Amino acid sequence: MKRALILLSLILVLSVASATAKTVNRVAVIVNDEVITTYQLDKEVIATLAKKENKNQLTANQFDKLKGQALSKLINDKLLQQRIKELGITVSAAEIESAVKDVQRKNNFTREQLNEALTSQGMSLEVYTQQIEDEILRYRLLGQEVNYKVLVTSREVRDYFDKNRADYDTEPQIKVNRLSFTASTGDEKEVAALNTRISVSRDLLINGENFDKVAASHGAAASGVSMGLVAEADLAEAIKTALVGVDTGGVSEAIEIGGNIHLFQVVERFSIDGDPFDFYRSEIEEKLKQEKTDLRFKEWQQELRDNAYVEFKI
């Protein structure tokens, strides 16, 4: 309880600081020829706390560590912004608008619906648009400064495969969704109603309706889960039998297992013919490239920090 009270007191202090920023705002850090203020730091700390599930259980030391991490993030962000300006990297209004429209298209939103969705999350379209612009600028900066220097050779890909061959199971694999209903123990009408519900759900899935949407439409009367990617040989015999002849996108007939009635939807099938290395080559190359990119980014970010003038005022 005492630790929780310590944190709540700190949050109250931050809230007061935010409300009176004009009078208490001070320089926290000088980064080259720009500053980060205590007000900016307080906002970053509050935003970070809001994302933590255990925010009411942090000790004072844990809070200080979080505050230090928030300050370090602000410094790194400032250095990225300065590097973007130094290199003259820009993004046009048309490109930003195109990105916003792409978000609308993927979510099937009108502009008004997007506004409503953002408002429900405590964000304005203006702030969201600025975030998109920042992401595009950051992406272009990293492409220019980091990504182009990352190279993965064929030898590295082959060596990784040989060292981790056991991780690349060559047995046929299958990705399956399961929609489950509790078997009815009622009268004929209840059984008929359940069978109708199952039949309609199966038809919807076969015709391309979203699995999560179909599962959600039944509320507590059914549960839908992804069984993930599994080796077909590891499936229960009843499921393997039900999936015989079911192609990708298809749905099994309803089967009863353990007092529940299930529909199984085949999301994807994986079967490797020939050398498994050829099948996994691209996946391994992408994995190694990402690892190298992450490492190179950390090195590059540290180089920016080492070459910058950073003076702490708090």
Residue range 125-134, pLDDT digits in tens:
999 999 999 9
Please name which of 80, 21, 27, 23 lies closest in space to residue 46, comparing C-alpha atoms. Answer: 21
Distances (CA, A) of 245 to 235, 240, 255, 282, 310: 15, 10, 15, 29, 65
Distances (CA, A) of 219 to 191, 222, 224, 227: 18, 6, 10, 20
Q: Determine the average pLDDT of the residues in 124-144.
A: 94
- Mean pLDDT score of the chain: 88
Could you tell me the pLDDT band of residue 16, with boundaries at 50, 70 and 90?
Answer: very low
Task: Quote the CA–CA distance of 266 and 48 in Å, as a whole number.
Answer: 40
Task: Quote the CA–CA distance of 145 and 95 in Å, as a whole number.
Answer: 21
* Domain ranges for the chain: 2-87, 93-145, 171-270
**Is it the case that residue 15 has pLDDT exceeding 80?**
no
**Is it the case that residue 10 has pLDDT exceeding 50?**
no
Location of structure tokens 């994302």: 51
Could you tell me the pLDDT band of residue 148, with boundaries at 50, 70 and 90?
Answer: confident
What pLDDT, on the 0 to 100 scale, is given for residue 70?
95
Could you tell me the pLDDT band of residue 2, with boundaries at 50, 70 and 90?
Answer: very low
Q: Determine the average pLDDT of the residues in 149-155.
A: 94
pLDDT per position as a tens digit, 235-259: 999 999 999 989 999 999 999 998 8
* 171-270 CATH fold: Chitinase A; domain 3 (3.10.50)
Pairing of strands 260-270, 34-37: unpaired
Distances (CA, A) of 308 to 10, 44, 305: 31, 22, 5
Instruction: Point out the least confidently predicted range of 76-90, 163-177, 192-206, 288-302.
Output: 163-177
Query: How many alpha carbons fall within 13 Å on the CB side of residue 7?
Result: 20
Location of structure tokens 């199971």: 169
Identify whether the C-beta of residue 252 lies closer than 8 Å to the C-beta of residue 264: yes
Take residue 142 and report the two structure tokens written for it.
Answer: 């990293």
Q: Determine the average pLDDT of the residues in 60-74.
A: 93
**Is it the case that residue 22 has pLDDT exceeding 60?**
no
Please, which residues bridge with residue 129 across strands?
A: none
Please, which residues bridge with residue 175 across strands?
A: 229, 268
Could you tell me the pLDDT band of residue 99, with boundaries at 50, 70 and 90?
Answer: very high
